Amino acid sequence: MGNLKNSGGIVVDATVSQRGRRDWPEKQTEKMEPDTSFKSVMALALECQKNIPEQYVLPPLQRPNMSLTDHIPTSLPLIDLSMINHPAHRSQVIDEVRAACKQLGFFQVTNHGIPTSVMKDALDTAEEFFNLPSEEKMCFASTDVHEPVRYGTSMNHEKDKVLYWRDFLKLYAYPISEWIHLWPSNPPSYRERMGSYAEAVHKLQNQLMEVVLESLGLNANYLHEDIEEGSQVLAVNCYPSCPEPDLALGMPPHTDYGTLTILNQSHQGLEIMDHAKKWHSVPFIEGALIVQLGDQSEVMSNGRYKGTPHRAILNVQKKRLSISSLHSFAIEKKIRPAPELVDEQHPVAYKEGSFAEFLDCIALNSVSDVKYIDTLRIH
């Protein structure tokens, strides 16, 4: 995955954790001045009816239609979780999860216990927030990845050669009682709707992690407390319709840094990359949620599973909303391969390291395009 381009923002964005904040490196960026570099993509989309600004145009080889994409929909794993707690059928769910994790590190789930209405309400309230006038959203604007509530867009930093067609709101979400009062209070239903979704998805991640662990042959309670008390960050993404979707991306290829990500989307637009570096469009399935493994699962499994590379493509007609619930270990927790998964045939493939150490390292060396997983992999 070393060749995947990863914008500076993305590496750090996907990784913000509420735990151990005081240990974080010095702030590198200050609160954004509303009238300088910031322009939301929502505002831009209204102005640009035919063409996108130059800065959003990707070099030819990085454009979505130029890279090897499977335009014929492939059947991607869809797992029915209704039997997850059924003693006689749980092992079948575990087998399906194991197969999906080995193949792509990706699957969709149905009968996951989160009502479709809760999923939809969260997407609707997310959309209402992005539809607010600029001034309302700007109160949350910041380029500081330490902010527990942060509104942003692809920033016009000098180092960022290409910008991405996305506005976002990052929300620290666990434990919810600590953070929810900082979330937007407009639209008035925001906290209640997004909060219900966040809590439901947190429960689901606990259940899914147990299945993932069992699928690796580990005890379902392996690192139980660290997993339950880890971090949850919601990345609420808004991709306005784009007049030239073949030239730009909503989000560049990346892997999420945590253990797993659960994604709720309003329309199709996510693509995942397989081991042969071929892109697959993920179909939209009403009521289903998308599950993707992150870098920390790769390390914990000693490379048996890999973080899923993914990107977000754009649509000429439709605006797309997505909510990624990014789950990870606490920032200061040192991650290492499970000892049970290390033997002569499988020597330790990753160094021990916490995400806090990684952040310190990139701050110290002023680099932003290094990936967490690449700093841990033993080649």
Ligand X SMILES: O=C(O)CCC(=O)C(=O)O
Write down the least CB distance from residue 10 to ligand X, Å. 7
Per-residue contact string for residues 315-354; x = within reach of ligand X by CB under 6 A: -------x-x------------------------------
Total interface residues for ligand X by CB under 6 A = 13
Long-range contacts of 154-161 (CB under 8 A, 24+ apart): 154/7, 154/9, 154/41, 154/56, 155/9, 155/37, 155/38, 156/37, 156/38, 156/39, 156/55, 157/8, 157/37, 159/8, 159/368, 160/7, 160/8, 160/9
Counting every residue written for the chain, the total comes to 379
**Cross-strand partners of 141:** 151
Do β-strands 78-80 and 106-110 pair in parallel, antiparallel, or remain unpaired?
parallel
Closer Cβ to ligand X, 98 or 280, answer by number: 280
Q: Mask of contacts with ligand X, 32-71, x by CB under 6 A? A: ----------------------------------------
147 binds Fe ion (CB under 5 A): no
Q: What three-state secondary structure class fits 237?
A: strand
Q: Among the candidate windows 62-70, 104-112, 126-134, 256-264, which touches Fe ion by CB under 5 A?
A: 256-264
Cα separation, 310 vs 9, whole angstroms: 15
Mark 216-255 with x for binding to ligand X (rule: CB under 6 A) and - for no binding.
Answer: -------------------x-x-------------x----
Q: Rule CB under 6 A: which of 253-282 touch ligand X? A: 256, 263, 265, 269-270
- Pick the closer one to ligand X by CB: 122 or 312: 312
Nearer to Fe ion, 248 or 338 (CB): 248
SS3 content of the chain, % helix, strand, coil (to 5): 30, 20, 50
Cα–Cα distance measured from residue 233 to residue 336, given in angstroms and rounded to the nearest whole number: 22
Q: CA 245 → CA 17, 171, 237, 277, distances in Å?
A: 32, 28, 17, 21
If contact means CB under 5 to 8 A according to the sort of partner, which of Fe ion, ligand X, none does residue 328 touch?
none
Residue from 213, 312, 356, 376 in contact with ligand X (CB under 6 A): 312
> Which stretches of the chain bind Fe ion, using CB under 5 A?
256
What residues make contact with ligand X under the rule CB under 6 A? 14, 235, 237, 251, 256, 263, 265, 269-270, 310, 312, 322, 324
